[in-house]
Every structure is written in structure tokens, then in C-alpha cells.
Amino acid sequence: MTTASPLASLAGVTKIYGDGDTQVTALADADLSIYPGEILLIEGPSGSGKTTLISILGLLMRPTRGDVFIRGERVSALRERDLPPIRAGAFGFVFQGFNLFPALTAQENVAIAIKMKQPRARNADAEARRLLAAVGLANRMHHKPADLSGGQKQRVAIARALAGDPAIIVGDEPTAALDTKTALDVMALLRSLASEHGRAVVVVTHDPRLERFADRVARVEDGRVIAVDTIAHPHAA
Amino acid sequence: MWTLARKILLHDRIKFTVAAAGVSISVMLVLVQIGLYLGFMQNASNLIDHSTADVWVTGEGSENFDFSAPIDERAFYKVASTPGVARAERMLLGFGQFRLADGGTQGVQVIGLDPGARLLRPWHVVAGDVRRLGEPGAIVTDITEAPKLKVHRVGERREIFGARAEVVALTSGIRSFTTSPFVWTDLDSARAYTLYPADRFNFVMVEAAPGVSPEVLARRLSALPNLDAYTTPQMSARAQHYWSARTGVGAGFFTTAALGIIVGLVVVGQILYNGTLEHLKEYGTLKAMGARNSAILRVIVYQALISALVGFVLGGGLALLAQHAMVAANLTVKLTPALVVGTAILTAVMCCAAALLSVVKVLRLDPASVFKG
């Protein structure tokens, strides 16, 4: 894994909120690289800096110090308005709360993300159907979120995250709202997306059961990446 | 994007119904109030606009068409003999008391015309023979004023200020701004009906000789002592302007129309803003995934335009119903193409302005907020 070039890297990243007496260092001097085909879990207690880390990694937040690289290009110095196209090409996001439009069907939720990422896309509906079929929802395309189970909603969210074929999927507690079996199914799906398509999947979680799907685990405490462990049997699910 | 906008908007039917109702009421108020205003203004210059005169001459300093200062025969001859005047006709416009069949009285606005007048004649004649208007005591009334005058057919006889009057023709839809019904008659009868002295009247209507500009002729006639002269469009504008600006009538109508716009603005703004707040996480997710602000803003503006379209269609329908209902009350709601198109544009602008708060919210939306639970 370390022989491949990283898809994304953080180098000496520090994030400080506030100023003066109210300064809080959320992340200190973090180094982390994400490689193609791997699942990287980010674990740590609440308030440890996990969310700040993936926000900076996903180009949603600027570091106070340090650099962010995407496919070797230093992007932390780019202007704010230059970031959306880089995010559109590099990242898909999956959230605990799904964040699906309740008024839209599964297919429309995915298609709208395709259209927003690629305004000139002409085959957004066909592409949305393909992505939903790829996550096992071929028979639920015309259902609205209210008519889907939690696991199915998360699969729609994963299909949406795949819109525009991003290199990295970032998941913020994507299994926290799911029962055990569904959570494991979702992780298996993310595992296959990483293994079969060479994407990187970065998942923030509190759930140690997910480690069986992971290649590495980054442990964060008090704003520091204290360890990055390689999992011995990553595909044992 | 239209699909997304429409589905988000229609997802909560009750909220959308409230938004559509707000826009509809706003549109209806604007159309009806300005339509009523235009109807009143049409009545204010009705006679002038239907004349074929090029220039109107009146007593110096007369501001109000309906209460114009009397002028005398010498003025008429001076006007008629001015170079460039091809034809001049006198007109008297005064008030009289019309004796009703049941013994009561009704104030009327008497229009006295020269015998054989060509520059202004009753129009929309629906019964009788308007050519008999030159006969002494012959009058023409309007059938839509029948509830006031109790005159329903040709041949009925009445008195105006004690002088005999016989209805020789009926028109339809010619109403005055003052709400006193028009009574058309010849110049001499008009003087009897309004108690004007024998040589007095109010206006000289002038037809310009071929090749003579009405503007030039009006300037020439204005140079005559104690007279003012205006081209017909100028005279029409003056008649409307007096009632609109000097009496506050215009301000009243436009204030109500403005209130309608404010109501629409607040209702639509509130609904769109709430809708944006409800979908902030979804919009944030799209922004996080690289959607540009412009793409999301388009969805919000499309929602505003859909609200505008639905509200305009419903409000327009309500305005047409109001127009129909007001005919019975003798009120004209004049829905001109310019008013309808203008209101449509105003509605779209109003709804887009109402979306501004939502737009600001989305512009300020930090995509990293999607990680904040």
C-alpha cells in the first residue's frame, strides 16, 4: 500500500479555533496519507479532533498551519472559489443522518448530485440508475427516503457519494444510525468499493467492530494523530 | 433543477398552498387596484379620448376638465378664425338636476354639443337615433346608468332643472369620473339644463387644417387672450392627472397595490426561507460534494419563480372574477395588456426578492457544517 502514491495527504496540519484566551487547538501537527484501495478508519473519543481532521482532508475547512495535498498537488493554498471543482472530482461524503432530500426519489437524489457536480451531464438519470444498481438498490430507485429502511437510505447516500466518480469517499459515522447487521452490510459495500474500484474510503467511527473491514486505523486523541495502525486481517468480513 | 425546485416546493402542500395564496392575493390586489385606477382614469378622459379633435381650447387657468371655467362666443370666433383651424365646435360641460320618474332628483353631467357636431358624438349607441340630438330637448343617456336615472328606453320624457327632455337614444358603457351620469344634448338645451347664460360654454374643439401640426396650432391658440389650448393627448393627460394627483385618488389605489406587494413579499419570503432552513443539511451536503453556490441558488430562485407563476395564474383568475363582479357595481376594472404583463414581471421580481434571505443563507452556508450533526 505504501508503494502507491497517496490520493490525499495532510502534512503538519494544525487547526486552531478562536483567538487570544479563547484559542482552542482542535488539531495539532497532523500527518496522514490516504492510499488508493484502502479503508482508513479514524477513531477517537468525542472532541478528539476527528471531525476537524476529515473536514480539512475533505477541503471543507482550511488549516491554520500545514498543507493538504490531493494527488500530489498542494491545494491548501488555493482560493476558496477554486476548491469546489477539486472537491467535486476528489470527494464523496456519507453522513450518519443520510442528508437526503425527502421530496426526491432515490434516483433523483443521486441524479441531482450528478447534475450539481457536472452541470453539463446529459445522462444523469441513467448514471444515477447505474450507481443505485451498484449499491444493490435497483428495485428501490423510485422510492422516497421515507419509504426506505435506514440501510437503504445509507446505500442511496453512498450512491450519491459516488456521483462524479470521486477518488475518496469520506464517511462521518455512516453506520451509527444502523443496526448491527445493516451496519456491517454497509461497511461490506464500502469495502467492495475500495477493493474493486481503487477508491479510498475514510470513515470516522466509534465502532471497533468496523475494524475488520479496514486496512488501517488512525487513532486521534486531544487533537493529535497518536497512531496509525495497520490491521492484520483487513478482509476477514 | 426545475424538477428539484418543484418537488421541494410541492413536498409540503400546505406550505405551498399558503405561499400560492399569498402571491395570489398580492397579484389580485395589484391587478384590481391598478385596474380600478385605470378604469377611473379612463372615465376621467373618456370624452376627450373619443373625440376626433386635434386641439382643445378652454378658459385660461382651468385645471379640471369636469369643472372648467366658462368662455363666451367671442372666444369661439377668435379660435375659429385663427389660421390653421379647419373646424371649431363648441362644447358645454356642466351639472344639472335630473327629475326622476318617481319625483326624486339625480345630479347629472350635461354635455352640450353644437348642432351637427362631428368632433365629438355619443358612441356605443345601443338604441334610438343619435342624429336627433340636434332637436330641442332631445337627450341621450347611458343604459348602464339606468339604476340612477330610471331611464330604460327611448321615448321616455323627463325634466332637467325644469326644462323638458326626451330620450332619443341610449348608449352603453359611457360613464363619468364624477359618478354623475352623462346626459348628451344640443348646446342650447344644455344651457337650459345647467342654468348657463346664453352665450357661455366651456370648450372649443378644434380640427387642424391639413398639414398643420396640432402642437403648433395649440401654441398659436394659447396665445389668444384668456384662453389655454392643448393637443388632445395633452388634454387627456391633464384631465387624468388632476383627479389622480390633486385629489389623492392615485395615491390611494397605489398604496393598496403596494400593500399587496408587501403581503406577497413577506408570505413568500417566509415560506422560502423556512424551506431553505429545512433543507440546509441537504444543500450543505451538495456544497460539500463540490456543488457551486450558483447551482444551489438556481434551485431557490426556481422555487420563487414557480411560486410566482402559480400565484399569478390564481391571482389573475381572481382579478377576472372581481372585474366581472364589479360590473354590477358600475365599476370598471381595466385590465390592459401592459398592466397584466407588468404585474407578471412585478410578481416574478417580488418572489425573487422574497428569496433573497434564503439566498444569503445558502451563500453563507459553511459546507463543513454538514459534519456538525
pLDDT, one tens digit per residue, over B318-364 is 999 999 998 877 788 999 999 999 999 988 988 888 888 888 888 88
Window 159-188 of A, Cβ < 8 Å to B: 160-161, 163-164, 166, 172
**Is B14 touching A (CB cutoff 8 A)?**
no
Which chain B residues have a beta carbon less than 8 Å from that of A158? Answer: none
**Is B81 touching A (CB cutoff 8 A)?**
no
| Centroid of chain to Cα A75 | 18
Please, which residues bridge with residue A220 across strands? A225
Yes or no, beta carbons of A87 and B290 under 8 Å apart:
yes
Which chain B residues have a beta carbon less than 8 Å from that of A89? Answer: 290
Is B158 in a helix, a strand, or coil?
A: strand
CA gap A1, A215 in Å, rounded: 9
Yes or no, beta carbons of B370 and A93 under 8 Å apart:
yes
**Is B279 touching A (CB cutoff 8 A)?**
yes
**Is B290 touching A (CB cutoff 8 A)?**
yes
**Is A88 touching B (CB cutoff 8 A)?**
yes
More confident residue, B373 or B264: B264
- The ipTM (two decimal places) reads 0.78
- Report the C-alpha dihedral over residues B84, B89, B90, B91, rounded to 10 degrees: -120
Out of B11, B285, B290, name the one closest to residue A99 (CB): B285
Query: Cβ atoms within 10 A of the Cβ of A47, count?
Result: 13
Yes or no, beta carbons of B290 and A88 under 8 Å apart:
yes
Which chain A residues have a beta carbon less than 8 Å from that of B7? Answer: 101, 103-104, 108
More confident residue, B371 or A108: A108
The distance of B147 to chain A (nearest Cα, Å) reads 57
CA gap B56, B231 in Å, rounded: 6
pLDDT given for residue A40 in this prediction: 94
**B227-231 vs B55-59, strand pairing mode:** antiparallel
Yes or no, beta carbons of A113 and B10 under 8 Å apart:
no
Tell me the average pLDDT across B364-372.
79
Residue contacts between A and B (CB atoms, under 8 Å): 90
Quick: pLDDT tens for B65-102. 888 889 999 999 999 999 999 999 999 999 999 999 88
Query: Cβ atoms within 10 A of the Cβ of A68, count?
Result: 22
CA gap A215, A237 in Å, rounded: 12
CA gap B6, B3 in Å, rounded: 5
**Is A84 touching B (CB cutoff 8 A)?**
yes
DSSP state of B143: G
3-state SS string over chain A? Answer: CCCCCCCEEEEEEEEEECCHHHCEEEEEEEEEEECCCCEEEEECCCCCCHHHHHHHHCCCCCCCEEEEEECCEECCCCCHHHHHHHHHHHEEEEECCCCCCCCCCHHHHHHHHHHHHCCCCCCHHHHHHHHHHHCCCHHHCCCCHHHCCHHHHHHHHHHHHCCCCCCEEEEECCCCCCCHHHHHHHHHHHHHHHHHHCCEEEEEECCHHHHHHCCEEEEEECCEEEEEEECCCCCCC
Residue of B nearest to A177 (CA): B373
DSSP B75-129: HHHHHHTSTTEEEEEEEEEEEEEEEPTTS-EEEEEEEEE-TT--SS---SEEEE-
Radius of gyration in angstroms for the set of CA atoms belonging to chain A, rounded to a whole number: 18
Grid cell locating A76:
491548501
Q: Which residue in A174, A122, A182 sits closest to A152, CA to CA?
A: A182
The distance of B301 to chain A (nearest Cα, Å) reads 15
Yes or no, beta carbons of B279 and A101 under 8 Å apart:
yes
pLDDT given for residue B50 in this prediction: 95
Tell me the average pLDDT across B21-41.
90
| Centroid of chain to Cα B106 | 25
| Domains observed in chain A | 36-59+79-230 (3.40.50.300)
- Contact (CB, 8 A) for B228 and B98: no
**Is B289 touching A (CB cutoff 8 A)?**
yes
CA gap B72, B332 in Å, rounded: 35
Yes or no, beta carbons of B286 and A116 under 8 Å apart:
yes
**Is B288 touching A (CB cutoff 8 A)?**
yes
Yes or no, beta carbons of A108 and B10 under 8 Å apart:
no
Grid cell locating A221:
486523541
The distance of B368 to chain A (nearest Cα, Å) reads 5
CA gap B218, B238 in Å, rounded: 14
Which chain A residues have a beta carbon less than 8 Å from that of B281? Answer: 95, 97, 99
pLDDT given for residue B372 in this prediction: 64
Please, which residues bridge with residue B201 across strands? B71
pLDDT at residue B302 is higher than 50: yes
Query: Cβ atoms within 10 A of the Cβ of B331, count?
Result: 17
Extract the residue ranges of chain A whose pLDDT is less than 70.
1-3, 233-237
Which chain B residues have a beta carbon less than 8 Å from that of A112? Answer: 4, 286
Q: What angle do CA B199, B201, B207 make, to 5 degrees?
A: 115
Yes or no, beta carbons of B370 and A95 under 8 Å apart:
yes
Quick: pLDDT tens for B153-208. 999 999 999 899 999 999 998 988 888 999 999 999 999 999 999 889 999 999 99
The distance of B15 to chain A (nearest Cα, Å) reads 14
To which residue does cell 395649440 refer? B218
Residue of A nearest to B292 (CA): A84
- Contact (CB, 8 A) for A32 and A10: yes
pLDDT given for residue B211 in this prediction: 95
pLDDT given for residue A3 in this prediction: 62
**Is B363 touching A (CB cutoff 8 A)?**
no
> B195: left (phi > 0), else alpha (psi -120 to 50), else beta?
left
Residue B31 has, within 13 A of its CA and on its CB side, a CA count of 29
CA gap A223, A52 in Å, rounded: 9
Q: What is the mean pLDDT of chain B?
A: 90
Share of chain B above pLDDT 70, in %: 99
pLDDT given for residue A236 in this prediction: 47
